[in-house]
Structure 1
Amino acid sequence: MRVRDIMTRPVFTLQPTDPVEGAAALLADRGITAAPVVDDRNRLVGIVSEGDLLRGRVPEDPTAHLRIAPKPPSHRPHLVAEVMTREVVTAWPLEDVADVARTMLDRDVRSVPVLDGGHVVGIVSRRDLLRSVLRTDDVLAHEVQQRLDAYAGGAARWTATVTDGVVRVDGSLDDEAERRVVEILARTVPGVATVEVRATVG
């Protein structure tokens, strides 16, 4: 499964000159954990997460450990450019989802912008990854069958069954080229682990 199969789009983005309060409102209103920061040409320059916005803005309880309250910061950030993370973990549309998931866990990030030609075309969150993994076999079989039937012009030429994310396609094929097409169609369904085309040629 590829990143383009599960990424969220369109992407809600921010610019470096946007106010911090506006960034916080965007994340809260849209129910997202982070937003890419782009320049005027839609090129990625950073990312703002909930953690970035909260850092240094929540006052400590001065009585928590019987210590003196810390002095307030001399400068409270006002612009996105002042709080955004500049070293951003990114992905690309044809990257394997398993590789992205591994990177997100290793780097402890919750959202990864997807770039194509340097431009932001999508974003992958841990929620997207979970949604693709936790789909039932029945849902996968239904979606695979729909794509195969649509390719066949509405005719039921193949039957798709799914067990533990593994798709099995039975039926008949015109040639080996069509076998490859059928396999690719099945693989494009988010949540499919692998595909076995058992259909016969001829």
Structure 2
Amino acid sequence: MHAKDIMSTPAHTVRADAPVAAAVELLERQSITAAPVVDDRDVLVGLVTERDLLRQAAAGSDTAPGAALRRVRDVMSGLPVSAWPDADVSDLAAVMVRQDAHTIPVVEDHHVVGVVSRCDVLRTLLPTDAAAQREAQHRLDVYANGQRRWRVTVDSAVATVDGGFDDDTERVVVEALVRTAAGVTSVRATTP
């Protein structure tokens, strides 16, 4: 699995020359803990995190004269660890641990195309039954052109597919789609 498979997109970015208040509003509105910072050409130049903003507030600089004029570039972290869309998820996990990174922007041609968080990586590498069930159900719904032809449940990594099949080929395809969902170790298909 690759960064492009798990990244949040579109990435919510903030401009380096935006007021600090714009970064706070973005993090709050999107319920995220960090946002890539871009220049006027949309090229990645930094990352602004809750920690950066709290550091500014704790230093009292938000009440100092001229605080309203502070820009994101004044408080952001420097150029962050970034990844390309085809980066392997296990490599991202290793980088996150080694660099203590919580958020990694995914960049293509210097432009941010997505963001991978620690939660995204955890869901992929250590999937729960609920996450495996959501992924498997989504795959089947897409395969059935948005229809809910089958219902998937996952318990202890074993997926059960309820619903009828047009033929044996369709059963094999459905079972393969479910079996390859992260967190599924085996599949049982039942028919009404």
Q: TM-score, normalised by structure 2?
A: 0.67
Alpha-carbon offset, residue 117 of structure 1 = 2.1
Kindly indicate whether the alpha-carbon contact (under 8 Å) linking 2:129 and 2:183 is maintained by their aligned counterparts in 1: no
Alpha-carbon offset, residue 17 of structure 1 = 0.8
> Where do 5+ consecutive residues of structure 1 fail to align?
61-71, 174-178, 197-202
Percent identity between matched residues is 41
Kindly indicate whether the alpha-carbon contact (under 8 Å) linking 2:132 and 2:183 is maintained by their aligned counterparts in 1: no
Give the aligned residue type for 2:10: P
Kindly indicate whether the alpha-carbon contact (under 8 Å) linking 1:14 and 1:38 is maintained by their aligned counterparts in 2: yes
What is the CA–CA distance in structure 1 between the aligned matches of 2:142 and 2:50, rounded to whole Å? 42
Report the number of matched residues: 174
The structure that is helix-richer by fraction is: 2
Q: Superposition RMSD on alpha carbons, in Å? A: 4.1
What is the CA–CA distance in structure 1 between the aligned matches of 2:158 and 2:115, rounded to whole Å? 26
Residue equivalent to 1:98: 90
Bigger Rg, which one:
1
- Please say if 1:44 is aligned against 2:29: no
Q: Once structures 1 and 2 are overlaid, which stretch shifts more, 130-139 or 114-123?
A: 130-139
CA displacement, residues 125-145 of structure 1 (integer Å, 9 cap, x when unaligned): 112223334533475367447
- Secondary structure of 1:121 counterpart: strand
> Cα–Cα, structure 1 residues 130 and 39, in superposed 2: closer, same or farther, change >3 Å?
same
What is the CA–CA distance in structure 2 between the aligned matches of 1:152 and 1:21, rounded to whole Å? 45
What is the CA–CA distance in structure 2 between the aligned matches of 1:85 and 1:91, rounded to whole Å? 17
1:75-154 matches, cutoff 5 A: 78-137=70-129, 140=132, 143-144=135-136, 147=139
- Please say if 1:7 is aligned against 2:1: no
Residue equivalent to 2:19: 19
- Secondary structure of 2:122 counterpart: helix
> Cα–Cα, structure 1 residues 194 and 136, in superposed 2: closer, same or farther, change >3 Å?
closer
Give the aligned residue type for 2:100: D
CA displacement, residues 32-64 of structure 1 (integer Å, 9 cap, x when unaligned): 11110112332111111111112243158xxxx
- Secondary structure of 1:112 counterpart: strand
Query: Which of 1 and 2 has higher RCO (CA within 8 Å, sep 6+)?
Result: 1
What is the CA–CA distance in structure 2 between the aligned matches of 1:107 and 1:30, rounded to whole Å? 25
What is the CA–CA distance in structure 1 between the aligned matches of 2:103 and 2:137, rounded to whole Å? 31
Give the aligned residue type for 1:13: T
What is the CA–CA distance in structure 1 between the aligned matches of 2:144 and 2:59, rounded to whole Å? 62
Kindly indicate whether the alpha-carbon contact (under 8 Å) linking 1:147 and 1:186 is maintained by their aligned counterparts in 2: no
Residue equivalent to 1:53: 53
Q: TM-score, normalised by structure 1?
A: 0.64
Alpha-carbon offset, residue 11 of structure 1 = 1.4
Alpha-carbon offset, residue 150 of structure 1 = 6.0
Kindly indicate whether the alpha-carbon contact (under 8 Å) linking 1:183 and 1:195 is maintained by their aligned counterparts in 2: no
What is the CA–CA distance in structure 2 between the aligned matches of 1:79 and 1:45, rounded to whole Å? 14
